[in-house]
């Protein structure tokens, strides 16, 4: 019976020794960590190219808290700061050491040439604040692509060449006043959405007209760039008219969008079986929405002055290709009768900047300011149309008068010379008026309000019937009088109450978006149905995609940049939507996105996708009720 007891005591003794050894190791680790010198270091490349992504890392060999990054105004922050940690324990000759490392990582992009200093970052450890070293980075001219990675994931499609914009100018050496076309074009190999080009709108030194103001983007096409196929579209297009000569620089345009990046997780262990399992694209691949800021190339335009040798004295700055003529409605009138004289300018160029012609009218004519009528159109080829100047003329005295001809000159772009034209002169015979009417008689389209009365001192005697009321009957202090007196106050109070309720309702952004989610999606589906009838495939899939994603964003108050299949599925399940409808909705989203960006024939399933989208939105609305 004693042998088991001895064995039991020996086992207890061994366990105690193991616990003591573990306690000593833990104590040594803590002491070693506390005794080490704290080092907080900044690391980055010393030279990068414009447009290149690079890492900025801050490393500390302790468990620091309260990390404060530096100001990075000279660089574009693509992502960050991301945090990662690592630790290790070593036992050498009975000495235990523990290494701890915290790394804070930024992904930056160089946006302009020059040498820039990144100031120090700060962090706290055991109540003491530490500052890192500063860095000097030189940004060189060029174009480089780089990939960025986050903790636990590596981007597979974040190369800068996957999506970019480029600016084109139709003529970089125009003359002053000559119309040129500037086009901003996007190139992409990955799905993008929520394109915001509102920051491309300022062109100092130019008069500008937006040629794509009535549409979001031009039609899509495919182009090969450096052996790589891109989907391209014109997102902004302007007609520019230079207002001065010399070299004018158009700064780089900025466009924001949301790109769908394919990501894949990194290896989690060293076992070959599990590595192949977790890194299998079937289980691990997914898409992530990433906000991107795209910068176009700047442009320099050398504006030449107009030739001065043959410039006519009556030249007023018209540049382009024009026709100028005139017409008058009649030349035989009586005194105080109106005449309409119209000058018409037709053509292409800076037509909207041309002032009315200078006409010499006889002193006995009363002339009103011209009524300017524009029929201008803006299309992909620029600005063109008709600009008419209509004068209302009233001869006050009888006699024979002459309206002299008007000369008009413009600089012809195609001929590179000045072209002049002259309108005919008009002989006006004004006879004596009969004096039967005190008001002027006129013809033409000018409003009657522009005609003044002649001789206001004589008026007709008022004849019956008369508006008679009983004696002693007054409106003042009557019931109607007091009601009308209080009516403005009552209306003001009602308007104030309605306005206050409306402000409260509109301040709830989530509620407003939720209420209009179905309405907005139905409008987009109606637009998609129109494109379906017209067999416009790209426009159809764009509207279907916007209808589905926009409905989800507004209905569940999800920012567009955070929309993903996982978020959608989670929100719908929280709202107790059936799993069958959720799976159908996700399948329709995937089919739409694939058909939108995949090459090949897209028209086969357009009607099915439209019916699925409409049916699913109706089903989800019923489930939510």
**What pLDDT digit, counting tens, does each position of 339-353 carry?**
999 999 999 998 888
C-alpha distance from residue 347 to each of 297, 326, 382, 474 (Å) = 32, 15, 11, 65
Element (H, E) at 366: strand 365-367
pLDDT at 7: 41
| DSSP one-letter code for 456 | T
CB 121 within 8 A of CB 67: yes
CB 235 within 8 A of CB 217: yes
How far is it, in rounded angstroms, from Cα 199 to Cα 212?
15
11 half-sphere exposure, CB direction, 13 A CA radius: 6
**Across 29-74, where does the E strand assignment appear?**
40-44, 47-49, 53-60, 65-68
Alpha-helical segments (H) within 127-209: none
pLDDT at 545: 78
> By CB neighbour count within 10 A (0-12 exposed, 13-18 middle, 19+ buried), where does 409 fall?
buried
Rg (CA), the chain: 39
pLDDT at 558: 73
CB 129 within 8 A of CB 63: no
How far is it, in rounded angstroms, from Cα 180 to Cα 253?
17
**The dihedral sign for the CA sequence 493, 498, 501, 506:** negative
CB 389 within 8 A of CB 372: yes
**For residue 309, how far is the Cα from the chain centroid?**
45
The residue written with tokens 């699925």 in the block is 612
* pTM strictly above 0.85: no
Backbone angles phi, psi at 71, to 5 degrees: -75, 130
CB 177 within 8 A of CB 242: yes
pLDDT at 435: 58
Pick out the chain residues at pLDDT < 70.
Answer: 1-36, 87-98, 142-160, 201, 213-218, 262-287, 434-469, 471-473, 505-517, 560-563, 593, 595-605, 624-625
**For residue 288, how far is the Cα from the chain centroid?**
22
The residue written with tokens 């070593």 in the block is 90
Q: Of 96, 31, 105, nearest to 67 (Cα)?
A: 105
**The dihedral sign for the CA sequence 592, 596, 598, 602:** positive
pLDDT at 452: 47
* Element counts in the chain: helices (H) and strands (E): 9, 32
C-alpha distance from residue 379 to each of 5, 118, 177, 305 (Å) = 101, 47, 19, 27
How far is it, in rounded angstroms, from Cα 51 to Cα 602?
35
pLDDT at 557: 72
How far is it, in rounded angstroms, from Cα 406 to Cα 360?
8
pLDDT at 161: 78
| DSSP one-letter code for 337 | B
CB 327 within 8 A of CB 412: no
Q: Which residues pair with 263 in a beta bridge?
A: 155, 286
Alpha-helical segments (H) within 363-508: 479-507
Q: Please give the torsion angle defined by the CA atoms of residues 559, 561, 563 and 564, in that order, rounded to the nearest 10 degrees.
A: -160
Task: Write out pLDDT tens, residues 132-152.
Answer: 999 999 998 864 333 333 333
How far is it, in rounded angstroms, from Cα 388 to Cα 390?
6
**The dihedral sign for the CA sequence 446, 448, 450, 456:** positive
Q: Which residues pair with 348 in a beta bridge?
A: 321, 384
Angle between helices 537-555 and 579-597 in degrees, nearest 10: 140
Tokens coding 542: 């764009």
Q: How many other C-beta atoms can be found within 10 angstroms of the C-beta atom of residue 613?
A: 25
Buried b (16+ CB within 10 A) or exposed e, 118-140: beebbbebeeeebebeebebebe
How far is it, in rounded angstroms, from Cα 76 to Cα 558?
25
């Amino acid at each position: 019976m004693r042998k088991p007891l001895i064995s039991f005591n020996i086992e207890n003794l061994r366990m105690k020794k193991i616990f003591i050894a573990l306690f000593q190791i833990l104590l040594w680790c803590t002491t070693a960590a506390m005794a080490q010198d704290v080092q907080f270091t900044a690391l980055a490349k010393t030279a990068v190219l414009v447009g290149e992504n690079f890492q900025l890392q801050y490393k500390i060999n302790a468990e620091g808290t309260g990390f404060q990054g530096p100001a990075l105004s000279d660089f574009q922050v693509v992502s960050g700061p991301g945090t990662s940690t690592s630790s290790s324990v070593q036992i050498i000759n009975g000495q235990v050491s523990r290494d701890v490392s915290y790394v804070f990582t930024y992904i930056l992009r160089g946006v302009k040439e020059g040498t820039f200093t990144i100031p120090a970052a700060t962090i706290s450890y055991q109540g003491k604040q530490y500052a890192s070293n500063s860095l000097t980075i030189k940004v060189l001219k060029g174009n480089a692509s780089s990939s960025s990675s986050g903790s636990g994931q590596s981007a597979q499609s974040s190369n800068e060449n996957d999506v970019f914009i480029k600016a084109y100018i139709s003529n970089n050496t125009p003359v002053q006043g000559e119309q040129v076309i500037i086009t901003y074009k996007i190139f992409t190999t990955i799905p993008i959405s929520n394109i915001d080009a509102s920051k491309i709108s300022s062109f100092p030194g130019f008069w500008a007209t937006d040629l794509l103001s009535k549409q979001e983007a031009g039609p899509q096409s495919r182009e090969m760039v450096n052996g790589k196929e891109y989907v391209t579209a014109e997102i902004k297009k302007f007609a520019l008219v230079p207002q001065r000569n010399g070299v004018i620089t158009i700064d780089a345009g900025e466009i924001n969008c949301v790109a769908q990046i394919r990501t894949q997780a990194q290896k989690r262990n060293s076992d070959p079986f599990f590595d192949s399992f977790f890194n299998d694209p079937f289980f691990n691949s997914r898409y992530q929405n990433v906000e991107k800021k795209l910068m176009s190339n700047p442009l320099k335009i050398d504006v030449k002055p107009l030739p001065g040798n043959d410039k006519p004295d009556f030249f007023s700055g018209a540049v382009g290709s024009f026709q100028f003529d005139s017409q008058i409605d009649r030349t035989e009138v009586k005194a105080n009768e109106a005449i309409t004289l119209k000058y018409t300018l037709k053509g292409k160029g800076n037509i909207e900047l041309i002032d009315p012609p200078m006409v010499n009218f006889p002193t006995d004519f009363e002339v009103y300011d011209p009524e300017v009528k524009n029929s201008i159109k803006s299309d992909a080829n620029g600005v063109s149309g008709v600009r008419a100047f209509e004068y209302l003329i009233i001869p006050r005295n009888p006699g024979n008068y002459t309206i002299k001809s008007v000369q008009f000159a413009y600089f012809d772009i195609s001929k590179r010379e000045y072209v002049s034209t002259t309108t005919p002169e008009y002989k006006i015979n004004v006879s004596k008026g009969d004096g039967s009417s005190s008001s002027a008689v006129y013809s033409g389209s000018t409003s009657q309000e522009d005609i003044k009365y002649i001789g206001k001192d004589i008026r007709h005697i008022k004849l019956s019937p008369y508006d008679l009321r009983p004696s002693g009957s007054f409106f003042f202090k009557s019931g109607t009088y007091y009601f009308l007196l209080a009516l403005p106050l009552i209306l003001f109070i009602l308007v104030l109450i309605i306005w206050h309720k409306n402000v409260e309702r509109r301040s709830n952004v989530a509620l407003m978006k939720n209420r209009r989610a179905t309405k907005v999606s139905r409008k987009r589906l109606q637009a998609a149905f129109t494109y379906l009838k017209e067999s416009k495939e790209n426009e159809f899939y764009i509207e279907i995609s916007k209808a589905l994603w926009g409905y989800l964003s507004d209905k569940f108050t999800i920012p567009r940049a955070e929309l993903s299949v996982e978020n959608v599925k989670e929100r719908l399940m929280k709202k107790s939507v059936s799993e069958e409808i959720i799976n159908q909705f996700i399948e329709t989203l995937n089919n739409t996105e694939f058909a939108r960006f995949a090459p090949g024939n897209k028209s086969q399933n357009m009607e099915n996708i439209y019916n699925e989208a409409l049916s699913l939105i109706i089903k989800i609305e019923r489930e939510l009720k």
